[in-house]
Amino acid sequence: MRGPLVPADVPLARTRAQIFDDLVLEAVDRLERRWSRELAGVEFAVEEVPRIDSWTVPGDPLPLSRLDPARPGRSARIVVYRRPLEGRAGDPEELGALVHDMVVQEVANLLGLEPEAVDPNY
């Protein structure tokens, strides 16, 4: 007897980048359920690493995320950096928790709230 057929265009394995993107989407989806109106129009993005000029003092730790506030003609944007977060995480479960925490922290910054007010599970 044969096993189940898998269409040729379905990947058998997900890349680390795809898995990371899914973690960010999960964190955003969770927050949008509670803060849908406040997060309407906010752009969420993943970048591999921050630009060198994105932090102010050489020797400061590498940023894990950033908030670009809204400006005329541009929505607010929250960016999560994949490689620095992967480097901090000891395992996939810890990576998921770190990604969630970074998204919560940046949403809290955007809304002017404490992270615990944005998500009690922070």
CATH 3.40.50.2020 applies to domain 16-51+62-118: no
Confidence at residue 3, expressed as pLDDT on a 0 to 100 scale:
46
User: What pTM was computed for the model?
Assistant: 0.84
Domain chopping of the chain, boundaries: 16-51+62-118
Write out pLDDT tens, residues 59-97. 677 899 999 999 999 999 999 999 999 999 999 999 999
As given in the structure block, the two tokens for residue 61 are: 């730790």
Write out pLDDT tens, residues 14-48. 899 999 999 999 999 999 999 999 999 999 999 99
Confidence at residue 51, expressed as pLDDT on a 0 to 100 scale:
84
Q: What is the mean pLDDT of residues 5-13?
A: 58
